[in-house]
Amino acid sequence: MRRVYLDHLAATPVLPEVLAAMQPCFLEAFGNPSSLHQHGLRARDALARARAQIAALINAESPEEIFFTSGGTEAANLAIKGVAYANQRRGHHLVVSAIEHPSVLGSVEFLEKQAFTATRVGVDSQGWVDPEAVRAALTDQTILIAVHHVNHDLGAIEPVAAVGRIAAQRGIPLFVDATASGGWLPIDVQAMGASLLSLSPHRFYGPKGVGVLYRHRRARLVSILHGGVQEGGRRAGTENVPAIVGAGVAAEIARRELPERIAHTAKLQARLWEGVQHRISYVKLNGPPPGAQRISTTLNLSTEFIEGEGQLLLCDLHGIAVASGSSCVSKSLKISHVLAAIGLDHALAQGNLILSLGKDNTSEEIDYFVTTFAQVVEKLRGMSPMWADFQRGVIDSVIQPSGRGTSFAAHASALAGKPAAARPS
Amino acid sequence: MRFDTGLMSDSYTLYNQTVMDHFLNPRNLGEVPDADGVGEVGAAACGDIMKISLKVKDGRIEDARFKTFGCGSAIASSSMATELIKGRTVAEAMSFSNQEVIQALGGLPPVKIHCSVLAEEAIKAALEDYRKRHPEAAGQPER
Ligand code: FES
């Protein structure tokens, strides 16, 4: 069957060069970097090379500022908890954007159950954080600011450099989660003013099982994983050498191919959004329009009157891999906190689909998706009581209101007892 | 020696074959013309919506159709539920339970049980509506 992969935010295949670099680490170069013999020294050397490759990707001053973890989630946990614990004598307050990844928000919630407090800064309808709102949230107790580079769901590129300037003025470390942008957008930790920054190599053709935390040498950070003295004492546990080596190679190739990857995915992104608008009615793009303020790899759509899991399942049956932020897809049965934070109506969030492009997608695949998706929407609308009522003029579209009938969102909310729009608190 | 890691297969499905079949080829999709009872309910858990319409003749459900705004399991549940209640008397249908749907579908993932509850609620709402419209039928013997 024909396969079109449009879920690069979830995972990417490793590059052949990455696999080739990793392979020796399983067989002849299997040593533990902490060992003092040839095997160990060889592994140690491999780690040093990977650190330099990662440092170059994000313009870190020194490879010593790069720490390897088990993944982006652990990197975020280490950044948030490690900075909080290291600074608890200075203060107990954290400022984070409301649409951070669950690994960030979950870490903050964990700290709130202890002696810490946090302010979640809301975003506008496009998903942008206002740097002035961050400034306003700071207190003399604030010890960490966390604003991600790009939102994983919406694709919005956040004004991190502006936040970085505020952080610098106040002498507060800024943590930037760059797991959605690493390998897809230029990243310069120095220009951003980031004291900490995390990456997830498996999002840019590296392997799973490895994450990266950059830490500026002056930012205080304590370990949250205790044991041996690996990673400069900031992360105990024998290093996952094969994955780290793979991450390094993936970073080096990403740096080299970045302009090409951006140009290619931007072209496909524009084609995709144009195609969808052309073929399907009552679709809304969530997040900024394709262009300078949106990452070139993602589109977040809400198709009205139908639900997202059904869209995902039918696409999958046609060989197309996509994701959805619908409540039916999540294990918690809640719509994504990101869609809630931008004030999207629950009924529209139900119809959510998230597409993420990669370097190997083709225009032809995009056209296949658009044609298939149009059929999927038609099939599901044929099953939807809401579409039927809309056709009859009993309920009205939220995306393009005609003025006839009650709004879809209000109708759905009355039936299910769900708020029409979950505005941020 | 090769070990089968299960990674090479090309045919995985999120739900079992019966559920997938009812999702892809829903039975009784649509609306009964001149329905005797219509029930529309929303799921408090996820926000999905189900509408079931019934044709009742001599106290027996002659036809049942559904329309669903919801996940694959909600669509399959409503398809199966309408299959199950066709031919039952109104009194019998009043005690219809989502357990029957789950069983007939060969099981649903735990997080998707509420989708079958939605089907039960839609049927009961449609029966309520029928009884409201036909108060004379309420007391009438149904066997
Ligand atoms: S009806 Fe809510 S997830 Fe299926």
User: How do residues A161-203 score in pLDDT, each as one tens digit?
Assistant: 999 999 999 999 999 999 999 999 999 999 999 999 999 999 9
Provide, as residue numbers in chain B, all residues whose Cβ is less than 8 Å from the Cβ of A422.
Answer: none
Give B10's DSSP letter. S
- The answer to whether A140 touches A116, Cβ cutoff 8 Å, is no
Q: Closest by alpha carbon to A257, among A204, A299, A219, A309?
A: A204
β-bridge pairing A395-396 and A93-97: unpaired
**Does the pLDDT value for residue A145 go beyond 90?**
yes
pTM over cut 0.80: yes
Asked if A2 reaches chain B (Cβ–Cβ under 8 Å), the answer is no
φ, ψ (nearest 5 deg) of residue A35: -75, 150
Tokens 């009859």 map to which residue?
A392
- What is the whole-number distance in angstroms between the Cα of residue B74 and the centre of ligand 1? 5
Rounded to the nearest 5 percent, the helix, strand and coil shares of chain B are 45, 20, 40
Q: Rounded to a whole number, what is the distance in Å from the CA of B105 to chain A's nearest CA?
A: 17
Q: Count of CB atoms within 10 A of residue B99's CB?
A: 12
Residue with tokens 């032809």: A364
Sort residue A217 into left (φ over 0), alpha (ψ -120 to 50) or beta. Answer: alpha
Q: What was the pLDDT predicted at A110?
A: 98
Query: Which domains are assigned to chain A?
Result: 14-255 (3.40.640.10), 258-416 (3.90.1150.10)
Q: A129 - beta bridge partners?
A: A123
Output the CA A366–ligand 1 centroid distance in Å. 29
Contact A290, A268 (CB under 8 A): no
Mean pLDDT of A138-148: 98
CA distances from B25 to A81, A145, A182, A380, A384 (A): 50, 51, 42, 12, 14
Q: What is the ipTM of this complex?
A: 0.92
Tens-place pLDDT, residues A50-78? 999 999 999 999 999 999 999 999 999 99
The whole-number average pLDDT for the span A358-380 is 98
SS3 A299: strand
Ligand 1, closest atom to CA B45?
A: 2
Three-class SS of A30-77: CCCCCCCCHHHHHHHHHHHHHHHHHHHHHCCCCHHHEEEECCHHHHHH
Contact A337, A22 (CB under 8 A): no
CA nearest to B129, candidates B52, B32, B23: B52
Amino acid at A11: A
pLDDT of residue A210 exceeding 90, the answer is yes
- Domains along chain B? 17-133 (3.90.1010.10)
Residue positions counted in chain B: 143
B141/chain A closest Cα distance in angstroms: 33
Could you tell me which of A58, A136, A149 has the C-alpha nearest to residue A99?
A: A149
Residue range A123-141: mean pLDDT, rounded: 98
Q: Say what angle helices A16-26 and A241-279 make with each other, to 10 degrees.
A: 160
Q: Give the pocket of ligand 1 (CB within 6 Å).
A: A 328; B 43, 45-46, 48, 70-71, 73-74, 112, 114-115, 118
Please give the Cα distance from A156 to A127 (Å, whole number): 6
- DSSP letter at A231 equals G
Most confident of A196-210, A326-340, B42-56, B127-141: A196-210
Residue A406 pLDDT more than 50? yes
Report the DSSP beta bridge partners of residue B37.
B54
Q: How far is the CA of A156 from the centre of ligand 1 (A)?
A: 29
Give the minimum alpha-carbon distance from A161 to chain B in angstroms, rounded to a whole number.
Answer: 38
- The predicted model gives A409-419 an average pLDDT of 81
Q: What is residue A271's predicted lDDT score, i.e. its pLDDT?
A: 98
Q: What is the pLDDT of residues B65-108, one digit of tens each?
A: 999 999 999 999 999 999 999 999 999 999 999 999 999 999 99
DSSP secondary structure letters along B43-112: -TTT--EEEEEEEEETTEEEEEEEEEES-HHHHHHHHHHHHHHTT-BHHHHHT--HHHHHHHTT---GGG
Confidence of residue B5 (pLDDT cuts 50, 70, 90): low
Q: Do A310 and B75 touch (CB under 8 A)?
A: yes
